[in-house]
Structure 1
Amino acid sequence: MSRNRHDRGGGFFLLLLLGRLQDHGLRDMGYVTLATIAGQILLFMGIINPPWSAGDVCLSGEAILRYKDYSRLFLSAVEHVDEIHLYHNMVSFLLKGKTLERKYGSVKFFILLVLFTLATSLTYAGLALAASRHYDDYSYMKQCAIGFSSVIFALKVLTTYYERSPYSSVFGVAIPSKYAVWAELVIIHILVPNASFIGHLAGILVGLAYIYGPLSDVVDAISGTLTSRGPSYGRRSYTYSHGTARGDISQVSRPNSPAEAMAMIEEYVARDITPLPSSPTASLSPPSVSILSLS
């Protein structure tokens, strides 16, 4: 059942969030990053008004494993409790999204977000089940969480890994990068007791599964399948051999220097040039020009 979404704050943090977006430059943002942020803002404001409330789609182990309400695997991630929750998540995602979408490209980054959302939610449910059995406490299965922070923690693992910096700043404190996400997990749990420790832990585990496990292969496989269905212009590599063009990339001869490249061009032109007819009445046909895309 839907409810009025306008009663979760006075608008100050929404204005602050819009200001941060403007500071970072909307034109410099990738399409997927911008659409993800805009969609969650519009959903929070009620401009996108679905037939459910945030409480209806919160993520819990019980809802997924017992009641099979699989829609919560995705819907819970795009809902937020209040303006402050939305603000902090979107500002954090903005920084990571810009970096990773630029690195991966929009298509692959979109696939990454979708799979991370699904994977973090499933991991959350699995951790809740494990905790309830280990501590013999079913309340872990009933704990309900909403928000994008699980995905953000997974992205945090990626950005920290790609930065290759020996130290990262966590709340203004320099910490060895390999411990940064773990330190952030503990500090947030201490400072914000209502934050979902299991949800954030799920995000870290999914991020590690991408860097060191098989999840990156899944993303690459889906991305490759989708992009290979489009037009193939610009994808085929050619090499010249005796005046012919071949599409076998294994035979491509690549120059090692500008001078070698010029020598290859001069050799090709000298070999394939055809003398012009000496008769002034001869019919001259213009040469055909082929534009080859080298990938």
Structure 2
Amino acid sequence: MEDLLGTYVIFLILLLIETKGIPPITLAVIVLNMFIFLAPEFNVGEVCLSVNTTFYGCEWHRLLLAPLHHIDVDHLGFNMASLVWKGSKLERRIGSARFMFSALVFGLLTGLTYLSIKAALATLLTERFNMDCAVGFSGVLFALKVINNGHSADGCIPGPFQIKKRDACWAELILIHLLSPRSSFVGHLAGILVGVAYVKGPLKAFINCFTGKEYGNIRFVECCHRTRSMCLEDILERGGVPASLGRR
């Protein structure tokens, strides 16, 4: 354990030195996950999400704690490496305050979606699904991936298979499950559904109520204090598209 602790302390120092370009909230989430892994207050069994413990046991605190806990070093390392890329990209686009609020909402909704799917499977198939327990940040990461791809221009990912960028999350869902059968397929699916609810559904409108509407990198509330022409120039200059132009 001491060797593991020393390795992570060194890794954390290198992370802070070499990744100055990581936005603050993304970096804070990475440090928080690492700190919880190194000095946990609860074991995984006490925080993992399952229908029996969360729905029937009313242990709703698990919705907050489960995404911040990981099973082992590989689980933590893979998720945090993914967060560096996906979180940094989205935080720079939408701003730190909105990203922080969005990540919290995504974590809660991903957990609720996961539990709902498991409860439905238990009703339709077998009650064993009520006992399945999951932890980790990967559900939120899938939601971030869907949103990042939703902001990307249409196109295909380079490779032997012609997969559109906006469909890449579905290919990754299947690939990860094939490579790592112990990973939570339903947890990853829940993250995708939450991401879709943001890109094409009502979730973005809900978040706008708390953080202000945005076009590209420009928050609508910031534009209200300037003239319309200045606002439109700023939006177009940063790659955003006004709602009146009718393109998502």
Match for residue 22 of structure 2? 29
Match for residue 281 of structure 1? none
Instruction: Tell me the amino acid that sits aligned with residue 146 of structure 1.
Output: V
Matched-pair contact (CA < 8 Å) for 2:49–2:62: yes
- What does 1:192-271 correspond to in 2, within 5 Å? 192-224=180-212, 236-237=225-226
Aligned-residue CA RMSD in angstroms?
3.0
Change (3 A) 1:152 1:234: closer
Q: After superposition, what is the alpha-carbon deviation per residue over 1:106-163, rounded to whole angstroms, capped at 9, x for unaligned? A: 100001000000000000010001111121x011111000100000011010111212
Bigger relative contact order, structure 1 or 2 (CA pairs below 8 A, ≥6 apart): 2
Change (3 A) 1:131 1:104: same
Q: 2:74 matched to 1:84?
A: yes
- What does 1:19-168 correspond to in 2, within 5 Å? 21=15, 25-46=18-39, 49-50=40-41, 52-135=42-125, 137-168=126-157
TM-score (norm 2): 0.81
Matched-pair contact (CA < 8 Å) for 1:33–1:101: yes
Matched-pair contact (CA < 8 Å) for 1:17–1:87: no
- State how far apart, in whole Å, the 2-side matches of 1:17 and 1:205 are: 33
- State how far apart, in whole Å, the 2-side matches of 1:196 and 1:233 are: 40
Deviation at 1:74, TM superposition (A): 1.0
Instruction: Tell me the amino acid that sits aligned with residue 210 of structure 1.
Output: Y
- State how far apart, in whole Å, the 2-side matches of 1:11 and 1:141 are: 35
- State how far apart, in whole Å, the 1-side matches of 2:73 and 2:192 are: 24
- The structure with the largest helix share of the pair is 2
Q: After superposition, what is the alpha-carbon deviation per residue over 1:137-196, rounded to whole angstroms, capped at 9, x for unaligned? A: 0111110001000000110101112122412369x9662223311111111111111100
Change (3 A) 1:147 1:233: closer
TM-score (norm 1): 0.68
Matched-pair contact (CA < 8 Å) for 2:152–2:165: no
Aligned residues: 225
Deviation at 1:28, TM superposition (A): 1.3
- State how far apart, in whole Å, the 1-side matches of 2:133 and 2:146 are: 24
Unaligned runs of 5+ in 1: 1-5, 226-231, 238-248, 258-295
Unaligned runs of 5+ in 2: 214-220, 234-248
Change (3 A) 1:143 1:90: same
Q: 2:171 matched to 1:179?
A: no
Residue 193 of structure 1 aligns to a residue in which SS? coil
Q: Percent identity?
A: 34
Match for residue 217 of structure 2? none
Q: Please tell me whether Structure 1 or Structure 2 has the larger radius of gyration of its CA atoms.
A: 1
**Structure 1 runs of 4+ with >3 Å offset:** 9-23, 232-235
